[in-house]
Amino acid sequence: MGVTAQEIEPDLLASAANVHCYGYLDRSVAGERKLYNGLMRAARLFVFPMRLGPVAGVVREVQLNCIPVVISRAPGASERVTDDYNGVLVDTLEPEDFARHTNTLVTDGVR
């Protein structure tokens, strides 16, 4: 089960006109699969705050599309992301930490 836009604090959703938050997209539903594939083609950055648990397969899909990732440091994350090389690992789930790391990534780029 994913987080829906209704579950996210309104001030986080309104932070920028070009930032969009999507909840869980079920790729077995044709319309949601089309949206998912379109997002993958258009994305320039993928931010994925996650709780403890294995890294979702979506991170692998994002990386296959050469999209930099900012994800939580969780079990399995370091197997997919080398911090400050092909993405950024964030030690907390605090929005401010994700914002700071995302800003650094956008400003400095991924090596």
- The answer to whether 69 and 88 have CB atoms below 8 angstroms apart is yes
- DSSP lists the bridge partners of residue 72 as 90
In the three-class reduction of DSSP (H, G, I as helix; E, B as strand; rest coil), residue 87 is classed as strand
* DSSP output for 33-84: HHHHHHHHHH-S-EEE---SSPPPHHHHHHHHTT--EEEE--TTHHHH--BT
Smallest CA-to-CA distance from 88 within 26, 100, 20, 10 is with 100
Q: What is the pLDDT of residues 47-70, one digit of tens each?
A: 888 776 666 777 888 888 888 888
Q: What is the pLDDT of residues 4-28, one digit of tens each?
A: 444 555 555 555 666 677 777 888 9
pTM of the model: 0.68
Instruction: Enter the tokens of residue 77.
Output: 């994350």
